[in-house]
Every structure is written in C-alpha cells, then in structure tokens.
C-alpha cells in the first residue's frame, strides 16, 4: 500500500515538473490588436433604472397609472352591480317563481362572465399599453446610448440585467469573421 501511495506522489510531482517546464518554454501569446491599442471599453446600462428615474419613464408610468385607475373604476362599478344582483337574487329568490328565479340567475351568470372577460380584456389592454409606452421610451434612449457610446469611446454597451447589447462598436463585431471561418470549415467538411 505504501509503495502504491509513494508511486502516485512521485507521478504527481513529475507531472507538476513537466507542466511547469512546458509552461516556461511556451511562447507568450501576442496581445489582441484592440488590447494593444489601449483596450476595449465595455459599459452597461441599467434600463430599469432609466425607466424609473428618467422624466420620460416617470411620465409613461404616470400615464399608465391613470389608465389603470380608470379601468379599476369601471371594474368596481361592474363588481357593485354584480353584488347587487346577487343580493337581490338571494333575498327575493325564494319568493320568485322558478322561471323568474332561473331567469335572474341566468342574467347574473351572464354578467359575471362578461365581467370576467372585461377584467381579462382590461389586463391585456393594460399590458399592451405598458409595452407601447416602454418601447417608445427605449427607442428614444437607444439613440442616446449609441451617441454616448461613440462620444466616450466605448466599443460595447450592454444591458445590465439581461446582458442585451444596446450598442457595439463595429470594431468589436466578430460576426463576419465567425461567418467566414464557419463557411470555410463547412466547405472543408463537405469536400471530405
């Protein structure tokens, strides 16, 4: 057992020595062209903070809140109407004929379904308006981001939370190079 452990330790020491020798003899890689020219600057933008603190973002949120309040007022009126119908049905239902009670129940059920649909429609409409307002603000901000990026010498600006590229210098774009290499390698594979 001692021989086996000693052999493993000797082998490990030999591997470390060989790795150190190879690393010492390996040429150091040349710096990337952009790094040699002073390094690439990458910045980020917190879009949520822009929306929360910018004048346009605050105005968009306030407009959305006003529309939400108007929708809520309408929904409250529908809820009160439904409560009145339900109370009326509960109080007067036992005194009504079966046909009259069934008819009132159908009216109540129809209005309840209509209210549920209206809530769903209001929610979808509110989400759509929110997307439109935020999209407008983001479109306006994107031109500013690009201008600031160019003026301050940034090669790339990303969105902080989602790592979405909002601005990128043409120098930082490797897409065409990747396409060329990919096409070249695909052509080579096709000939084999």
Environment class of residue 45 by beta-carbon count within 10 Å: exposed (0-12), middle (13-18) or buried (19+)?
buried
pTM: 0.53
Neighbours of 176 (CB within 10 A): 9
Are 43 and 154 contacting, i.e. CB atoms less than 8 angstroms apart?
yes
All residues at 6 or more sequence positions from 176 whose CB lies less than 8 Å from its CB, including other chains: none
Q: Which stretches within 54-97 are classed as H helix?
A: 55-92
Task: For 22-75, write each residue's pLDDT tens digit.
Answer: 333 333 333 333 333 457 788 888 888 888 888 888 888 898 899 899 999 999
**Which has the higher per-residue pLDDT, 122 or 181?**
122
Measure the CA–CA gap between 45 and 71, rounded to whole angstroms: 33
Highest mean pLDDT out of 11-15, 51-55, 75-79, 172-176: 75-79
All residues at 6 or more sequence positions from 140 whose CB lies less than 8 Å from its CB, including other chains: 56
Q: Which residue(s) pair with 72 in the sheet?
A: none
Q: Give the per-residue pLDDT at 73.
A: 93
Task: For 23-33, write each residue's pLDDT tens digit.
Answer: 333 333 333 33
Distances (CA, A) of 153 to 37, 82, 145, 190: 12, 62, 12, 42
Are 144 and 30 contacting, i.e. CB atoms less than 8 angstroms apart?
no
Residue 5 half-sphere exposure, CB side, CA atoms within 13 Å? Answer: 2
Residue 11 pLDDT more than 60?
no
Task: For 73-131, write each residue's pLDDT tens digit.
Answer: 999 998 999 999 889 888 888 888 889 889 989 998 999 999 999 999 999 999 998 88
Listing DSSP states for 94-150 in one string gives GGS-HHHHHHHHHHHHHHHHHHHHHHHHHHHHHHHHHHHHHHHHHHHHHHHHHHHHH
């Amino acid at each position: 057992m001692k021989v086996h452990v000693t052999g493993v330790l000797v082998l490990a020491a030999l591997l470390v020595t060989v790795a150190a020798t190879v690393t010492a003899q390996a040429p150091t890689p040349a710096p990337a062209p952009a790094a040699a020219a002073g390094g690439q600057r990458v910045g980020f933008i917190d879009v949520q903070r822009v929306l929360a603190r910018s004048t346009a973002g605050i105005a968009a949120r306030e407009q959305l809140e006003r529309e939400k309040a108007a929708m809520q007022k309408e929904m409250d009126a529908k809820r009160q109407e439904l409560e009145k119908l339900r109370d009326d049905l509960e109080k007067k239902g036992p005194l009504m004929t079966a046909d009259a009670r069934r008819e009132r129940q159908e009216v109540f059920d129809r209005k309840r379904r209509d209210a549920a649909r209206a809530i769903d429609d209001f929610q979808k409409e509110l989400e759509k308006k929110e997307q439109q307002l935020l999209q407008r603000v983001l479109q306006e901000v994107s031109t500013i981001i690009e201008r600031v990026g160019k003026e301050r010498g940034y090669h790339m600006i990303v969105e902080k939370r989602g790592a979405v590229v909002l601005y990128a210098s043409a120098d930082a774009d490797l897409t065409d190079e990747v396409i060329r290499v990919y096409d070249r390698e695909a052509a080579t594979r096709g000939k084999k």
